[in-house]
Chains A and B, each alone.
Chain A
Amino acid sequence: MSAEGSTSAATKTEKAALGETQTFFAQAIQQPTPVSAQPDAPRMASRFIAGNDRLSPTAQLEIYREQFWLRHVDALEEDFATIVRLLGHDAFHALAESYLEAYPPTAFSLRDLGADFVTFVSERAPYRDDPLLADCARLEWAFVDAFDARDAAPITAEAIAAVEEDAWTTATLHFHPSLQTLTLSHAAHDYRTAVRRGDDAARPAATRVHVAIYRGPETLQYVEIEPLACALLERLQRGEPLGSACESVAATVTDGGGAELLESKVAGWFQFWAASGWLTAIGV
């Protein structure tokens, strides 16, 4: 037991208030450095913590500090397994530490721990220099959100059939809350699948891909979608009427013929969206 392990008579008579105790405790265990190496922490630990014949107050507090980091880094490793694979365990640990220092956990559930991870790896050097990290983070977080998104029943064939022919232009489409579309700069979706299966996987090459992530009846699913379908879905999910959304997307086709191209595709996309359970209602 070290010298700071014994509580002096002076500190015994001076009772620490509950709030003061908790503030010191919380600050000490959130530091990535051991309590013994934190400025003034061993002296403060001796003031608040009794210690025993096996462990000094600092060593006792260190148990909680280690658990804080283990628990939170483990949770991030689980949610961002592709980034662990890309960086390796030690480098991911360093990333997780930096993240937790920048974004301390504030939600009651560990489920929300990675809510700012996309922002962090997109903005913070050196992680921002590798856009694959942001791609993987966005993809992984989309799966987390899809897992427990609100439930909604898929639209029925009868509800689709009931929409009058001339109502489609101004109709708004409502989608399953789990559905998210992502535009990625790498085929991170295939890489994620390989990593989650435990397969060997080479770093994916840079290529622009559009992916939809959603919750099926039993499992989380993803599918690569066409660029124009992705653009249309994004507009429709924002509540834009079908006609105007199609016009806007058609106008982005730079070599002309956008309207005809959309017209030839939309019916097929619509059928796929309905069959996949993405569509839940049509507002007319």
Chain B
Amino acid sequence: MGFRKRHAIPDLGVGVGFRVPHYEHVLTTHPAMDWFEVISENFMVRGGMPLANLEKLRSHYRVIPHGVSLSIGGPAPLDEHYLRRLKALVDIIDPPWFSDHLCWSGVAGVHLHDLLPLPFTREAIEHVSARVRQLQDFMQRPFALENVSSYLTFASSEMPEWEFLSEIAEKGDCGVLLDCNNIYVSSKNHGFDGETYIDAIDPARVVQMHLAGHTDKGAYLLDTHAAHVNDATWELFRRALRRTGPTSVLIEWDDEIPTWDVLAAEAAMARSMREELFGAVRPASARVPDAPAVTP
């Protein structure tokens, strides 16, 4: 049985990232949106407005926590302090899965706050997949790894990225958060075929997809989440959807954040693409009326 079915991962429909410029609009008018993703670290705090806002959000929408600081590929042991705080947050939100990136973020006690690429080696596969198992054992909840955009490849790499990601997901027995923009950005930066990447990923492991825009820096593309999803990325998304069937998808827009209407229109594009392929699928994203209160 595939990962998604085994863990009863629901299709939440189309969501967007919960970002500060939209807090007031979302929390007071409750616009139509299937679900929201929150950056885990922004809510791993002691109290105050972040947790109050999260509680308000959860009272109307399904919420999925998405981390940026796990450093699953880092050389140091997984940070127990970080894991305890992440588990406290995730247990409050009680999502069907949580996610972070296939990357590393620091070394020797320094946190670089970036999603740094790994060499695609057997050594890295063993290292990361063991840590994925350790993470899921601790969290007692399905975990999804997201492919990152990258601006370099390592001389030591032994395989293409899609084989690297697939093998880690298989050996670590985790889900995949397939970021179509990251595939597009890396395909242009490194000269591979994005469709080959999409076709190589086991659709039964894809629990969620990301869509976003990027910035053309001339000699390379930079993953800025500061623009509309481009046509080529929409096509990669369509191709991935055909393989996965109805799957939760999220629009990320983190810089030069547009008005809510612009963001909602981007989400509507993703929804119409889903409906074009599958008809009007009713996502499992109805509000959760009996969600427990947030306590720090």
Please report A residues at the B interface, Cβ cutoff 8 Å: 7, 11-12, 15-19, 21-23, 25-26, 29-30, 47-52, 54-55, 57, 59-61, 63-64, 67-68, 71-72, 104-111, 146-151, 177-178, 215
Given contacts A18-B127, A64-B151, A108-B79, contact A72 B45 (CB under 8 A): no
- Nearest-neighbour CB distance to chain A for B51, whole angstroms, equals 7
By the criterion CB–CB under 8 Å, are A63 and B220 in contact?
yes
Q: Please pick, from B47, B107, B111, B156, the residue contacting A148 in the complex, using a CB distance under 8 A.
A: B47
Q: Is the CB of A18 within 8 A of B75?
A: yes
Which residues does chain A contribute within 8 Å of B152, judged by CB atoms?
49-51, 55, 57, 60-61, 63-64
Considering the complex, give the chain B residue whose CB is closest to the CB of A8: B155
How many angstroms between the C-alpha atoms of A177 and B48 in the bound complex? 10
Cα distance A282–B172 in the bound complex, in angstroms: 52
Query: Which residues of B are found within 8 Å of A105, using beta-carbon distances?
Result: 110-113
| B222 contacts across to A, CB distance below 8 A | 63
In chain B, residues 192-242, which have Cβ atoms closer than 8 Å to a Cβ of chain A?
A: 219-220, 222
| B104, B108, B154: most-surrounded residue (chain A CB, <10 A) | B154
What residues on A are CB-neighbors of B124 within 8 Å?
18
Q: In the complex the two chains form, is B112's CB within 8 Å of A26's CB?
A: yes
Q: A26's contact among B51, B106, B151, B191, by CB below 8 Å, is which?
A: B106
Question: How far, in whole Å, are A174 and B220 apart by their CA atoms in the complex?
Answer: 56
Using known A-B contacts A18-B123, A22-B74, A71-B113, determine if residue A48 contacts B41 with beta carbons closer than 8 Å.
no
Total contacting residues, chain B, CB less than 8 A: 46
Say yes or no: A52-B114 contact (C-beta < 8 A), given A18-B123, A111-B45: no
**Which residues of chain B are near A15, meaning CB under 8 Å?**
121, 156
A148-B46 in contact (CB<8A): yes
Residues of A contacting B153 in the complex (Cβ-Cβ under 8 angstroms): 49-50, 52
Q: Across chains A and B, which 6 residue pairs bring their CB atoms closest together, nearest first?
A: A60-B152, A148-B45, A151-B47, A108-B69, A26-B107, A148-B48
Residue on B with the closest CB to A151? B47
Q: Give chain B nearest CB distance to A185 CB in angstroms.
A: 29
Instruction: Assess the B108–A30 pair: CB atoms within 8 A.
Output: no
Q: Which residues of B contact A57 (CB under 8 A)?
A: 152
What are 16 inter-chain pairs, A to B, with CB distance below 8 A? A12-B155, A16-B155, A17-B123, A18-B121, A25-B116, A48-B154, A50-B152, A50-B157, A52-B190, A107-B111, A108-B69, A108-B111, A109-B42, A146-B48, A150-B47, A151-B296
Q: How far is the CA of A7 from the CA of B151 in the complex (A)?
A: 17
Shortest CB distance A104–B (Å): 5
B residues at A contact (CB < 8 Å): 41-42, 44-51, 69, 74-75, 79, 82, 104, 106-114, 116, 118-119, 121, 123-124, 127, 151-157, 189-191, 219-220, 222, 296
User: CA separation between A17 and B101, bound complex, in Å?
Assistant: 21
| Nearest A residue (CB) for B119 | A21
A21 & B44 in contact (Cβ 8 Å cutoff):
no
Chain A residues with CB under 8 Å of B127's CB are 18
Asked whether B151 lies within 8 Å of A63 as measured between CB atoms, the reply is yes
- Say whether A50 contacts B79, CB under 8 Å: no
In the complex formed, the residue of A with least CB distance to B126 is A18
Bound: A11/B155 CA distance, A: 8
Docked pose: A55 CA to B189 CA in angstroms: 10
Residues of chain A lying within 8 A (CB to CB) of residue B46: 148-150, 177
Residues of A within 8 A of B220 (CB): 54-55, 63
With CB as the reference atom, state the residue of chain B lying closest to A113: B113
Q: Which residues of B contact A54 (CB under 8 A)?
A: 219-220
Neighbouring A residues of B190 by C-beta, 8 Å: 52
The residue on B at minimum CB distance from A53 is B191
- Bound together, the chains give a CA A124 to CA B230 distance in angstroms of 48
